[in-house]
Structures are given as C-alpha cells and as structure tokens.
Structure 1
Amino acid sequence: MSKFGKLLQSAPVRKAKAFANRVPRLAAHLSAKEEDYRARPPIIVNSLPKSGTHLLMQIAQELPDRRYFGSFIAQTPSMTLRMRSQGEIDRKIAAIVPGEVLGTHLYYTPETEAALRKINAIHLFIWRDPRDVLLSEAHYLAKMNRWHAMHKAFAALPDAETQVRFAITGNGGNYPGAEERIGSYMGWLTSDSCLSLRYEELVDPQTQLGQCQRILDVYKATARAPGSLPSAEMLVDAINPARSHTFNRGGIGRWRKEMSPANLALCEERLGPWLAS
C-alpha cells in the first residue's frame, strides 16, 4: 500500500469518514421499522483484535443489500482504552441500521448478546490462535499504529522479544494481561447467537469455501428476504488481506518460529484453554 493509501486508511481519516456518515445513518435509523430488521438483518463482524476483522468484513460486504457507514464499535477504543459501560454498548447497538454491516470488538456479556438479538443481527465472530494474535499485536502497536494509546509504550521497548512479553503480561492498568483481554471475548465461542469462525480456516484454501458456505447458510436462515445471494466461491474471491490497513504478512502459525520458549511458556500458563495444538 502506498503512503497516500496508508494515510487514507489511518485512524483519524477513517474516523472522519464515519463522522461524515452520521447524518445519513441517523436518518436511516429514524425511518427504520421492526420489520426492516427482520427482512434485512444487520451484520455484525465481531472479532478478537488482530484476528482478521477486515478479511471478514470483505466477505460480509458481499452479501446482498448491505449498507456500510464506516461505523465501528469498540469495547475499549484504541485512542483512549477507556472501557465503555454496558449502557453505552447497548445504545450503540440500538443505533445500528437495518442492512448495515459494521465491525466491532465487543466483549461477551449476556446483555450484549441480548442487545444483538433484539435487532435480529447476524453476528459473525472471528478469532485466531492467541499466540499469533500476540505476535501481530506487538508488531502492530510498536510499528504500525502511532495513534493507539499503547504505541509509545511498545515503541520504547528494546526488541520484539520484550514487546511480545509486554503484550502477554500487560501493564496492570488500562492494558491488562492477555488472559483478560483475550478471555473477555471467548464467551462468544459457546454462544448460540453467533457464528464463530477461525481465522485459520478462512484463509486456508482447503477450508475457506466451507466456512463461507456457513456464513451464507446463516444469512439465508435469518433474513426474511434474502434476495439474490452470491455463491460461496464469490465470497472467497472477495478475500484480499492486503487491502486491510492493519495487514501484516506472516501467515498462520508464526508463533512456532518467532515466539521464544520463555514467551511460549507464559502463553501456556495464561492462555492454555484457548491454544490450538
């Protein structure tokens, strides 16, 4: 991606675009009726950060009659890391428009689950092996996102080994340890209100077609007027990780080559239940 392209995808520019869309989004929300949510359910692309949010957004935007306003709901916005209250999250969910597709980083709570059910949302949750998440997060915060509240802390560390350890242990304050940051999402894995997807299976040529078919099946089962649906092959063709402003080449299972034995032991200690073999 060119420097100009990176600028267009920077956090301030993306937030400015979303702000500009607030008026048409509000107008669409005010005119929406309950039956509109049944006919054209919103699609929530929820993710464990650094797990393929934009990849899944590319797929979701290929589904019929979608509206994208640039909105994003984060439990802890990256510029401040302030934890949003349940009331704030509920209000933001209630403001979602029929047919809207938007990205989120939403922790699991029964209240959030109920709020998404209330608007008949198709909830897609994507996650990834936490060891690869932590490698990606450390690189992203140290090298790629200077607007993030933790960028300076990561950039000041002497090497990648120390940065990854910091991603695992946290700072004891607004950036808690990985077991809390990652564990807060994992309730979605056992929720029957969302479709849980593994990043590894969405990028593997052997499994991605089947995963895209699962998404289509959920869409057909939820939307009252599903319209002319794309094929699973068309959804696969929409995947282009390099178009994401957060994309970092490296692939699946980087932790096997790049994570030190000491950091792997920390991951086992803190994240054992969620680690793949």
Structure 2
Amino acid sequence: MPYKYVEAEPVRTITKDGRRKKQEEILDELTRVPRDVIGWGYVDATNENASFLTQSGRVNYFIYRDPRDMLVSQVFFATDMHEEHGMHDFYNSLPDFSERLKVAITGIDRDELKMVSVKQRYEGVFAWLATPGVFCIRFEDLINQRAATLDAMLNEVEKTGYTIPTSRAKALSVLAEAIQPRKSHTFRSGKTGGWREFFTAEHKSLFKEVGGDLVVRLGYERDNDW
C-alpha cells in the first residue's frame, strides 16, 4: 500500500475546551498531514476543506451511519464513556436514557450548553455526499458487506494510477484484519440497527417531527412509516 502509517490524532473542528476552530486553523492541520500518511478527522464540507482534500492524487473516504444508531451511540458515549464530553454532566442530570435520547434528537441551546438537532447535524453529511471526489461509505456496509465495501475502497486507490503491489485477495485480507473496532475508545457494541432496542414510539414520533424524512433521504427507510 502507498501509505506508511495512520495519523494518531484526528483533525477536529472543536478544541478540547469547546472552542470552534477557525477555517484557517483546520486547513493548516490538514496540510500538516504528510501525503503518504492516512489522515482522519471530523471536518465540515466547507469549500476550503473540500478543495484541499479533493486535489489530484488524493483518495477521500467519508463514513456515515444511520442517524438513529448514531444518537444512541452518542448518548452512551457522552454519559458513560467520556467524562470530558460537553454533554456528560447534563445527560447524567437527567433521570434515564429515554430523556437523554430525546435531548439528543432535539438538540439543546440553554445558557452555555449547545448541541444541534439530529437534522442540523446531518446537514454536514449531505454536504459531503454531494462533494465530487469523495467516496461515501455507510458504516453499515463496512460491517455487513465488508468484503465488497473494502474492494470498492481499493478501486478508489487504483483510480489514482497507483497499482497495489499484491493480489487483491491479499490486500482485502490485510485490510479486514486491520479493522479492530474494539481498540477504539468509542467502541461499545460494533453492531448495526441497535436503535430498535431503545427507540420507543415517543422517540420515533419526536425523531420524525425534528428530522422529517431524514432516514428516507439517506436510504435507510423506503418511507417514513417506520
């Protein structure tokens, strides 16, 4: 493979103390990632970011997941796994998971506590989905259709003109073995569709009220009758 290693730290839009970085700060961090290193991060699809990342010779993967699973994961992570998360104290002040999930769906803007709604959060997803030069991948496909998804990812590498110096079968095997989600500090279950265990009829109704046909637009449902 044409890469030496994976960058340890992601490029983020928010600092540890909660400050939103300026565009020039984010672009500076992106430019500091060596070209032969796999960089990763959580960045917005601004014109500046997209223009830099989609330069010739680069391969970009954008991974997104079912927003319902994302919400459940976010609540567990902020409540139980990351004490420095901006929502940690507030989530723990609520009586139960059900109430926390409602806040995750609607978002909150109270005093210095701010979190966007699920609909606003996914505006950024649609921005990347519409960006040429970015190969978009559903998290669910990486889990449930791993071989086909990894094969498509390798195709993107070879479109740059680079020839992978091993058989496709060997390359796929190496990639599959390298996926070790349990080593991630955000790992909880590694499953898909787990939202069904936590969404009540009330949560479903609230999600549709706030997010509209979000899951339909993303291809997770055929209609809003779920």
Displacement after TM superposition at 1:250 (Å): 6.1
Q: Deviations over 1:200-253 (max 9, x none)?
A: 11111xx21110001111111125465447522332232222221111116211
The change in CA–CA distance for 1:231 and 1:250 in structure 2 (over 3 A counts) is closer
Alignment of 1:73 with 2:11, yes or no, is yes
SS at match of 1:65: coil
Q: Is the 8 A contact 1:76 1:83 kept in 2?
A: yes
- Say which structure, 1 or 2, has more relative contact order (CA 8 Å, 6+ apart): 1
Aligned partner of 1:259: which letter?
F
The change in CA–CA distance for 1:68 and 1:234 in structure 2 (over 3 A counts) is closer
Give the number of aligned pairs: 212
Distance 1:250 1:165 in 2: 23
Displacement after TM superposition at 1:73 (Å): 0.8
Distance 1:244 1:184 in 2: 23
Q: Which residue number in structure 2 is paired with residue 99 of structure 1?
A: 36
Q: Deviations over 1:119-175 (max 9, x none)?
A: 743111111100000001001100000122221111221100011111112222532
Larger displacement relative to structure 2 (148-157 or 133-142) = 148-157
Q: Deviations over 1:163-188 (max 9, x none)?
A: 11111122225322222223223211
Displacement after TM superposition at 1:270 (Å): 2.6
Q: Which residue number in structure 2 is paired with residue 139 of structure 1?
A: 76
Q: Is the 8 A contact 1:126 1:197 kept in 2?
A: yes
Query: After superposition, where does 1:187-226 map in structure 2 within 5 Å?
Result: 187-204=127-144, 207-222=145-160, 224=162, 226=164
Distance 1:273 1:65 in 2: 40
The change in CA–CA distance for 1:112 and 1:250 in structure 2 (over 3 A counts) is closer
Distance 1:119 1:255 in 2: 39
Aligned partner of 1:212: which letter?
L
Q: Which residue number in structure 1 is paired with residue 91 of structure 2?
A: 154
SS at match of 1:137: helix
The change in CA–CA distance for 1:142 and 1:223 in structure 2 (over 3 A counts) is farther
Distance 1:240 1:266 in 2: 34
Aligned partner of 2:87: which letter?
M
Two-structure CA RMSD over aligned residues (Å)? 2.1
Aligned partner of 1:150: which letter?
M
SS at match of 2:136: strand
Larger displacement relative to structure 2 (110-119 or 212-221) = 110-119
Q: What is the TM-score when the length of structure 1 is the normalising length?
A: 0.70
SS at match of 1:246: coil
Gaps spanning 5+ residues in structure 1: where? 1-62
Aligned partner of 1:211: which letter?
T
Q: What is the TM-score when the length of structure 2 is the normalising length?
A: 0.84
SS at match of 1:191: coil
Q: Which residue number in structure 1 is paired with residue 224 of structure 2?
A: none
Displacement after TM superposition at 1:64 (Å): 4.0
The change in CA–CA distance for 1:256 and 1:223 in structure 2 (over 3 A counts) is same
Displacement after TM superposition at 1:84 (Å): 1.9
Distance 1:196 1:224 in 2: 20
Once the two structures are aligned, what percentage of the paired residues are identical? 24
SS at match of 1:192: coil
Q: Which residue number in structure 1 is paired with residue 61 of structure 2?
A: 124
Q: Is the 8 A contact 2:5 2:37 kept in 1?
A: yes
SS at match of 2:115: coil
Q: Which residue number in structure 2 is paired with residue 10 of structure 1?
A: none
Query: After superposition, where does 1:1-277 map in structure 2 within 5 Å?
Result: 63-77=1-15, 79-118=16-55, 120-172=57-109, 174-204=114-144, 207-222=145-160, 224=162, 226-228=164-166, 230-249=170-189, 251-275=191-215, 276-277=220-221
Q: Is the 8 A contact 1:94 1:119 kept in 2?
A: no
